[in-house]
Structure 1
């Protein structure tokens, strides 16, 4: 009986940790969004501005993840509920709108030979984001494995998309900062738009089914 109580307490601790990681992800994305959109607008860097808008959308997605953790804690084998499906649809639509806006503006910037005033903050923010997101991936993966939760493991894998976007921002901002190549900011924006489109598509796929993530097969 004592062992069972200890196991239950350990399980509850792990779910509290998973929920804490989800809340941290939401708060971080909101702060990242505010800072990125501010400096992106101020420096006229579309890649950084788009990255910031994406962060706000990721925060909306995070609300669904936090709700999911509460659900699977109460009912581990339950399916996605209406709240999560609605959050996914809103997130997916937001990603599609962002994609259209980024592609249209980046094409305009290329045709008009527009270039950002500076991309220093794009370099700094992307490096911080890569470090934070990898730490979250490691933390979520450990918790997911201990709980044997495919949903939490899938969320950890899907967080890698944020890392990919950060790498694109780092490369485009770094190249511009070093070589002042006028088109690189727009090319970086198109890269971010590509991943935003993929995320939007995946959100609608998940809203129509009970799959966790298209990358879930990568879990070990």
Structure 2
């Protein structure tokens, strides 16, 4: 149970809120850069990674609302706004999965290869560092507050790390070897995690449990 009647706890909630807002801002910038360079360099993996970042922005709005809610009333349950945000996010993830599967299959069929994946290497490398730091700070704050929702959010941020690793590996291999289809294979890996995130969103929306995004 979280107590909010002392100044240190209020400060911790404010830190949690600040981390959630920073996550939104970072994902927005990451999405813009990734989709732009993904389109320009014809890298489906990087473009899909950017699209995922935009969906994470929608999810982030729900997280900000959640932190604000439990700051006011730690015993409160997930409200209608959060459930709606989760449902919209889930639909967006499923739509992204469909687009990525169709496009990657087409690229494999036609033998399409990116012009370069250098920006995929750079963006994914930065993302891994930033997201790991966010996971660390979110877990630290969540544990000090004994807040399951904040800890669950930190665990979900790990999914962004996994997706960044996939982008880094696929982009790095292509940049070093020019291996055909590796960009599309990386895209399929992103689609897998996007599907898991979408499923997680609908599970959360239908209950008051805070899943750990395992």
TM-score with structure 1 length normalisation? 0.94
Q: 2:95 aligns with which of 91, 94, 97?
A: 97
Q: Which residue of 2 aligns with 1:194?
A: 192
The CA distance in 1 between the partners of 2:14 and 2:200, in whole Å, is: 27
Contact 1:202 1:214 in 2 (8 A): no
Pairwise CA distance, 1:212: 1.0
CA distance in 1, matches of 2:157, 2:30: 15
The match for 2:26 is 28
Q: In the aligned structure 2, how far is the partner of 1:184 from the partner of 1:213?
A: 32
The residue number in structure 1 matching 2:63 is 65
- Native 8 Å contact 2:159 2:213 kept in 1: no
Structure 1: gaps spanning 5 or more residues: none
SS at match of 2:6: helix
Question: Contact 1:96–1:196 (CA<8 Å) still a contact in 2?
Answer: yes
Shift of residue 74, structure 1, vs aligned partner:
0.7
Cα deviation for residue 215 of structure 1 reads 3.6
- Is 1:8 aligned to residue 11 of structure 2? no
Following the alignment from structure 2 to structure 1, what is the Cα–Cα distance between the partners of residues 213 and 168? 23
Counterpart CA distance in 1 for 2:65 and 2:213 is: 21
DSSP 3-state at the match of 2:114: coil
RMSD: 1.3
Equivalent positions of 1:95-174 (< 5 A) are 95-174=93-172
Helix, strand or coil for the counterpart of 1:80? coil
Alpha-carbon distance in structure 2 between the residues aligned to 1:211 and 1:120: 40
State the partner residue of 1:75.
Answer: 73
Structure 2: gaps spanning 5 or more residues: none
Q: Deviations over 1:144-179 (max 9, x none)?
A: 011000000010011100000000000000000000
Deviation of 1:214 after TM superposition, in Å, equals 3.9
In structure 2, distance between residues paired with 1:192 and 1:215: 15
Instruction: Supply the distance in 2 between the matched residues of 1:212 and 1:59 (Cα, whole angstroms).
Output: 19
Count of residues paired in the alignment:
212
8 Å contact from structure 1 (residues 106, 186) kept in 2: yes
Alignment partner of 2:42: what SS?
A: coil
Runs of 4+ in 1 over 3 A off after TM superposition: none
Q: Deviations over 1:104-140 (max 9, x none)?
A: 0000000000000000000000000000000000000
